[in-house]
Amino acid sequence: MCIRKQTGVLALLVLVAFLPRSSLAGPEEDRLAFVAHYQARFPEVPLAEYANGIYALDADARAQWHSIEEFPPYEFSIERGGEFWSAPLPDGTHLADCLGTEVGAIRARHPRYAPELGVVTLELAINTCRSAAGAAPLDYSDGAMIDLTAYLAFESRGRVLDTRIPPDEPGALAAYEAGKQFYYSKRGQLNFACADCHITSVGQYVRADRIGPSLGHPTHFPVYRSKLGGMISLHQRLYGCVRDVRAKPFELQSEAYRNLEYFLSYMSNGLEINGPGARK
Amino acid sequence: MDRALASRYLAAVLMVCAGGCATDFDQRLEETERLRLDAAARGYEWIGTEGLLEQARERAAGGDTRAALALVEQARFQAEAALQQAERESEAWKRRVVK
Amino acid sequence: MASKIKVKARIKDDVADVQSLMMHPMETGTRKDPDTGEMVPVHHITQLTFTLNGDVSLVANLSTAVSKNPYFRYKIRGASAGDTLKVSWVDNLGQADEVETVLK
């Protein structure tokens, strides 16, 4: 490099070194690198399409999905969820009294961080509200919980994920980092990290399924699975993945999965919420 | 893991322990259970380990000590491997982060 | 409880493309309840009927081969906006459901 260019580069480096750094530099850098990686890997896929998961990459699956979406199998779930949402709690209050009356804004606000609870997912928020009103918490694999989240997801369609890591809450960044570490750590007898499939092997086949990218994963849950003839939540899918690499799975809504959801959600910031989804 | 392999493990254990460590089933079981709980505490327990130890207890109760010990050794392999994995991954994960 | 049969119909030229999704467990009778260990009794739709303006346009005799929450789609010529479409089913336990919709 000629001397003038070298000096210029040096000056730029010095300048950058002294620029004010927000405490979110880490996660935001992570996210930009994450997105850039997938975009370099699949240059023809527009960023917004990642909200559709594997359908962004697989034309045949996408065609099948479009015909399912003509009459979505999750419509009954949304309806039941709406009824559940309007039903009064034992003390006469409603879920809207805790979570807000603007239904479309609720899903978009989660996951978020609260110092007393750690990462608060939508499911945890629902059960926290129910407990405060004297109702028994819903089972996280129960139809009622999934129907509720299906309804709230549907109402939030069109809004984008905007996961926040408040700079004045050191616990929030720690939770994000814990989720990130989980994502990249190999585990189980099969010694796989989430990244091994969902970054390294995206688009490749595992048995009869093509592996989808992590970018956009949280946007479309809960999901109707044709295989089950029913709906599953994101944590049920995380549970299944951990079991499938032959590690002992963690409990639904455990700290491990909530931190992981926090990380995954942050990575997908800016993508449109399009739940509930329909998958194999 | 098949029985032939488990038997080799058992033989290896007996050879290594010729100097005088316990081949007593109960002690081996207890040690392995502790290793399993260590792995669990680190969030790295493998899915099959607890089941193997349960089967080992059942076989021992049924009088088949040889089979019981073989199952304990399989469980021990899993628990030790899980702990090594936890140790390795505490640093190795950083190398996989997309930059 | 909201309607257990959903119908969507699109008319193009003279042809109505009718899609329906109906809630029904469609139990084959060969499945075991995972909690109780007991066999889940047979319970499925036996006959599904579509009528257009009161005239039967399609009858389907269903059995154990159709899975939970059947989705059914067919096209019928000679339909126009304002026609009344009715979807109804009966099952082996004598239960029934129906819904009527006016084509647009």
Greatest C-alpha distance within chain A: 76
Residue B70 near residue B52, CB atoms below 8 Å: no
Using CB atoms and an 8 Å cut-off, which of residues 138-177 of chain A contact chain C? none
- pLDDT of A62 above 60: yes
With an 8 Å Cβ cutoff, are C6 and A75 in contact?
yes
Q: What is the mean pLDDT of residues A80-103?
A: 95
**Spatial distance between the Cα atoms of A153 and A105, rounded to a whole number of angstroms:** 10
pLDDT in tens, C75-94: 999 899 999 999 999 999 99
A129, A194, A197, A241: which one is catalytic? A241
- pLDDT of A268 above 50: yes
pLDDT in tens, A222-248: 999 988 889 999 999 999 999 999 999
Angle at alpha carbon of residue C52, lines to C46 and C55, rounded to 5°: 75
Active site residue A241: yes
Q: What is the mean pLDDT of residues A210-231?
A: 94
Chain A residues touching residue C69 (CB < 8 angstroms): 73, 76, 229
Chain C residues touching residue A80 (CB < 8 angstroms): 2
Give the N- to C-terminal CA distance of chain B in Å, as an integer: 39
Structure tokens at A97: 């009294």
pLDDT in tens, A10-51: 655 555 555 544 556 799 999 999 999 999 999 999 999 999
Give the model's pLDDT for residue A37: 97
Give the model's pLDDT for residue B18: 45
Q: Which of A153, A157, A186, A173 is nearest to A77 (CA)?
A: A153
Chains A and B touch (3+ CB pairs under 8 A): yes
Q: Which of A37, A181, A243 sits opposite B47 (nearest CB)?
A: A243
H or E, element range at C15? strand C15-22
Burial A205-237 (b: 16+ CB within 10 A, else e): eeeeebbbbbbbbbbbbbbbbeeeebbbbbbbb
pLDDT averaged over every residue in chain A: 92
Interhelix angle A234-244/A255-267, rounded to 10 degrees, is 110
Q: Which of A24, A114, A68, A41 is nearest to A220 (CA)?
A: A68
Extents of the domains making up chain B:
3-96
Give the model's pLDDT for residue A20: 47
- pLDDT of A5 above 70: no
